[in-house]
Structure 1
Amino acid sequence: MAFVGAFKLTKRDGYEAFAKAIGATAEQISKAEALRPVTEISASGDTYTVKRVFPHQTTTNTFTLGQKCDLNLVEGKTAKDVVVKLEGGKLHMQGAKFTCVAEIEGNNLKETITLGDASMTRWSERCIMSFAGKYVMEKRENYEAFAAASGASADQIARSSSATLTTEVEENGDTYVVKRIYPGQTVTNTFTVGQTQEFSFADGKKAQAAASRVGNKLVVTGPNFSQESEIVDGKLKETLTFKGATMIRYSTRA
């Protein structure tokens, strides 16, 4: 979806008048002038979650197209009974005194927001999250069920439950080199976003899979298998699914 991703504020017009209209103080306006918040948008069907990440606070709104909702604004303000619709590729948010029209222009999220007689337009540039670096596995959830689904024996699962894993990621444009360093072996995969290629796994198996970028996620999809990688709070989070069993693995930067 076009709106899914992370966007960093680059400029805004009419901010001061708009901020005064929602009740911000002169001190709050002065401090906010230099801020460049990040807007994170995710979607599941017709339901969207929008996070505005500021240094001092994060506001989160979840809404479903066509349904009424209350939207949290900055500094504790709220827009009541807002209905959001997707029309002509734009998200239209309409309340009694509040409107917002969001659209994608090139690589930017453009939002025109009106409250009463005050209007502001802001532009935020899409962020492309970098995965490059070295990571050490911190924890994993549901490993045993995932390993069993992939064909590992009880003995193999027991031995690997306490095994260490270091992941090294290199990026060169849309091409990635990912090394998985296990005790006794290293598995390396080189792949390019938008292409289908062969992937190797720790158990020696190989499979054809396609790589793509979905927002800030790196997604690999193959027969009965998928993996979504993302950076969350500075950590590498990987969600792996095989034949219906899902494991989540967290790794910290080394």
Structure 2
Amino acid sequence: MAFVGRWETETQEGYDEFCKLIGIPDDFIKMARDHKLITEVTQDGDDFSWTHIYPTFASFTNRFTLGKECDMRAIGGNKFKATVIMEEGKLIASFPKYMRVCEISGGKLIETLTCGSVVMKRTSKKI
């Protein structure tokens, strides 16, 4: 239940390079780069709801059950099927173009997205 709550982005590292590599349009990168993304997470047993809220233009929700394939949306709105697992307290999902690992460390939500050698790291505080 450590992920449950409302989180606000504090820092992002490697955002532009990562987004360009996975094919996000430059106008979306520019628009979203400096916004304080809000992430809302709910959990009921192995069932999660993970919502990203962009302050000025959009939001989307991924609902998943640990260990079961589900429909997901990624950065830029791409849709695909994925299976999210919990391993050593981390939520791990393989998206078509990248790997996403979410964890709680020092009371912060840390989201690490890796595509090849390019890494984007988003740190969020609980609000």
TM-score w.r.t. the length of structure 2 is 0.90
Aligned to 1:64: 65
Aligned to 1:81: 81
Aligned to 2:49: 49
Aligned to 1:26: 26
In the aligned structure 2, how far is the partner of 1:95 from the partner of 1:25? 18
- Are the equivalent residues in 2 in contact too, given 1:59–1:73 (CA < 8 A)? no
In the aligned structure 1, how far is the partner of 2:23 from the partner of 2:100? 18
In the aligned structure 2, how far is the partner of 1:110 from the partner of 1:77? 22
Q: CA deviation at 1:89?
A: 1.0
Superposed CA deviations along residues 11-44 of structure 1, whole A, max 9, x for unmatched, are 0111001111232222222222211110000011
- The residue type paired with residue 64 of structure 1 is T
Using a 3 Å threshold, how does the CA distance of structure 1 residues 35 and 126 change in structure 2: closer, same or farther? same
Q: CA deviation at 1:114?
A: 2.0
Q: For residues 122-133 of structure 1, what are the structure 2 equivalents within 5 Å? A: 122-127=122-127
- Are the equivalent residues in 1 in contact too, given 2:111–2:122 (CA < 8 A)? yes
Q: CA deviation at 1:96?
A: 4.5
Superposed CA deviations along residues 134-170 of structure 1, whole A, max 9, x for unmatched, are xxxxxxxxxxxxxxxxxxxxxxxxxxxxxxxxxxxxx
In the aligned structure 2, how far is the partner of 1:22 from the partner of 1:70? 19
In the aligned structure 2, how far is the partner of 1:34 from the partner of 1:95? 24
- Are the equivalent residues in 1 in contact too, given 2:22–2:97 (CA < 8 A)? no
Using a 3 Å threshold, how does the CA distance of structure 1 residues 88 and 13 change in structure 2: closer, same or farther? same
Gaps of 5+ in 1: 128-254
Aligned to 2:102: 102
- The residue type paired with residue 48 of structure 2 is Y
In the aligned structure 2, how far is the partner of 1:25 from the partner of 1:96? 17
Q: CA deviation at 1:67?
A: 0.8
- The residue type paired with residue 59 of structure 1 is F
Please identify runs of 4+ aligned residues in structure 1 that moved more than 4 A: none
| Structure possessing the higher relative contact order (Cα contacts under 8 Å, 6 or more residues apart) | 2
- The residue type paired with residue 48 of structure 1 is F
In the aligned structure 2, how far is the partner of 1:83 from the partner of 1:20? 25
Aligned to 1:37: 37
Q: For residues 241-252 of structure 1, what are the structure 2 equivalents within 5 Å? A: none
Using a 3 Å threshold, how does the CA distance of structure 1 residues 24 and 96 change in structure 2: closer, same or farther? closer
- Are the equivalent residues in 1 in contact too, given 2:32–2:54 (CA < 8 A)? no
- Are the equivalent residues in 1 in contact too, given 2:70–2:81 (CA < 8 A)? yes
Aligned to 2:6: 6
TM-score w.r.t. the length of structure 1 is 0.47
Q: CA deviation at 1:49?
A: 0.3
Q: CA deviation at 1:117?
A: 4.8
| Structure whose CA Rg is larger | 1
Using a 3 Å threshold, how does the CA distance of structure 1 residues 18 and 70 change in structure 2: closer, same or farther? farther
